[in-house]
Amino acid sequence: MRPLPPRRPPNPFRSPLRGPWLTSVLGTVLLAGLPVLFVTGLLSYAAYNPDLARINDKTPDKGLLGFYLFSWPTHPYWLYRLTQGVHVTLGVVLVPVLLAKLWSVAPKLFALPPLRSAGHALERLSLLLLVGGGLFEFATGILNVQLDYVFPGSFYRLHFYGAWVFVGALLAHTVLKVPIAVRTLRDRGLRAELRTPLERTRPEPRDPTGLVATDPAEPTVSRRGALGMVGLGSLALLLVTAGQSIGGPLRRTALLAPRGRNPGTGPNGFQVNKTAALAHVRPQDTGEAWRLTVRGNGRTVRLSRAELEAMPQRTSMLPIACVEGWSSGDQRWEGVPLRELAALVGHHTDPPGVFVESLQPAGSFRAVALRANQVRDGRALLALRVGGADLSPDHGYPARVIVPAAPGVMNTKWVRQLTFGATTFTTDSGEPA
């Protein structure tokens, strides 16, 4: 009886599709999308005006990483809706490309021996930061969009520092790999490869990259088919995500929207980030006894809602846009311009910034600081009504702030106090803000 040949351990990396060409194509797509993702993320952080006040700064001690921060503008009014919508939608759309790229380089991640030299050790470290940083950024971003704040620390801090680590590793990797990718794509044309059917699909020639399988299996899909599946996955995610930012009829297709696609009817029938109940704002807090306190220049004015309604009113068409990527579309807000409220305490010309405090007893962004340019914009209101109706409790009754181009959490709901020209930010309880 002839002895059986020794069994070789199963090799999970036998796909004939793996090789420098497929990895280069996927890497090129990521190289086009990731810088846009990074820049829009930095813009999102700048929109919170974190260098203005401690209360706005969810990423303290950022040091040199905050070199780019600038005064967030109010023009165009849809700026944050655009930048954050692009950031979230593009991040979701790139997920299939990222996973395919990791699949294509999987043999390199598990190559043995793990460390062959000091140079190889540095390369492996950069690869660890690149892969780990990429997975961390995408995972935390998507979890934040879908589940809100589920992290054991500040999402803003984790995501901000993680982005810089990931981009640093990406730059190092790009410097090392771009020459190889350019040469690979030049030698093996995209058009010719996309015309190659399954029956003519062959493994790439062996090369020093180590991506090509040493014992390739028979192909079950062509490279054209593999790229098509990745593209269809990205397209499907685009269709079930983008509507939350674009709005209109497409909102009904936003199956992955973190807020309901059908949030109700009537003037207050649009998306809510946090309800009054969730914020622990009680009906008795917003009843007849409620007063707005306006401070500045050593003066204090207290106004009832009826007194606010008796002041000159202005209408602004503005959206609510949030960090999770969703936006409400333009709503017709009515209320008192912030600059008119500043005039009540002596700031008649060139009013300064304002410190806004909410009835919300605890939680992030229950108080925010707004810049002078935001106060001076005539569209910035202390809103009392929306769509011709009083604000609902969930939309901030009896009064809320609405500012052009500001993130949703900066448009404070259930406002109880405005302090114009504040240089220190402390709540009435003495808690540092």
What local confidence, expressed as pLDDT, does residue 5 receive? 53
Sign of CA dihedral 42, 256, 329, 396: negative
- Dist CA 221 CA 94 (whole Å): 22
What local confidence, expressed as pLDDT, does residue 427 receive? 59
pLDDT class of 396 with cuts at 50, 70, 90: very high
In DSSP terms, 420 is beta-bridged to 354
pTM of the model: 0.91
Note the pLDDT tens digit of each residue in 35-46: 999 999 999 999
- 241 and 389: one domain? no
Tokens of 387: 């769509």
- Dist CA 180 CA 170 (whole Å): 15
Q: In what order do the strands lie in the sheet with 354-358?
A: 299-303, 292-296, 415-420, 354-358, 367-370
Which residue, 221, 191, 214, 218, is CA-closest to 19? 214
The answer to whether 42 and 68 have CB atoms below 8 angstroms apart is yes
| Residue 433 belongs to some domain of the structure | no
Share of the chain above pLDDT 90, in %: 68
What local confidence, expressed as pLDDT, does residue 330 receive? 95
- 220 and 88: one domain? yes
- Dist CA 340 CA 175 (whole Å): 54
Last residue of a domain, one of 226, 248, 270: 248
Look up the CATH number of the domain holding residue 320: 3.90.420.10
Note the pLDDT tens digit of each residue in 202-213: 998 887 778 888
What local confidence, expressed as pLDDT, does residue 2 receive? 59
Domain coverage including residue 338: 283-420
| Residue 12 belongs to some domain of the structure | no
- Of 221-225, 250-254, 413-417, 423-427, which range is least confident? 423-427
Note the pLDDT tens digit of each residue in 337-351: 999 999 999 999 999
Note the pLDDT tens digit of each residue in 107-124: 887 777 777 777 777 777
pLDDT (mean) for 140-158: 80
Share of the chain above pLDDT 70, in %: 93
- 219 and 357: one domain? no
| Residue 276 belongs to some domain of the structure | no
- 238 and 312: one domain? no
1's CB contacts (< 8 A; 6+ apart) are none
Query: How would you class 192 by CB atoms within 10 Å of its CB: exposed for 0-12, middle for 13-18, buried for 19 or more?
Result: exposed
Which residue, 341, 343, 366, 342, is CA-closest to 356? 366
- Of 15-19, 257-261, 357-361, which range is least confident? 257-261
- Dist CA 414 CA 281 (whole Å): 8
- 230 and 336: one domain? no
The answer to whether 261 and 112 have CB atoms below 8 angstroms apart is no
DSSP H or E segment with residue 157? helix 155-187
| Residue 259 belongs to some domain of the structure | no
- Dist CA 152 CA 143 (whole Å): 13
What local confidence, expressed as pLDDT, does residue 397 receive? 98
How many domains are there within the chain? 2
The answer to whether residue 57 scores a pLDDT higher than 80 is yes
- 235 and 376: one domain? no
E strands of 309-433, at which residues? 314-318, 331-337, 354-358, 367-370, 381-386, 389-390, 400-402, 415-420
**Tokens 């009540």 belong to residue:** 344
CB environment 290-326: b (16+ within 10 A), e (fewer): bbbebbbeeeeeebebeebbebebbebebbbbbbbbb
- 239 and 132: one domain? yes
- 179 and 72: one domain? yes
| Residue 103 belongs to some domain of the structure | yes
| Residue 269 belongs to some domain of the structure | no
What local confidence, expressed as pLDDT, does residue 87 receive? 97
Q: Pinpoint the alpha helices (H) of 293-347.
A: 305-310, 338-344
Which residue, 245, 41, 297, 276, is CA-closest to 156? 41
CA 28 from chain centre, in angstroms, equals 23
Note the pLDDT tens digit of each residue in 121-146: 777 788 888 999 999 999 999 988 88
Query: φ and ψ at 335, to 5 degrees?
Result: 175, -165
What local confidence, expressed as pLDDT, does residue 126 receive? 80
pLDDT class of 258 with cuts at 50, 70, 90: confident
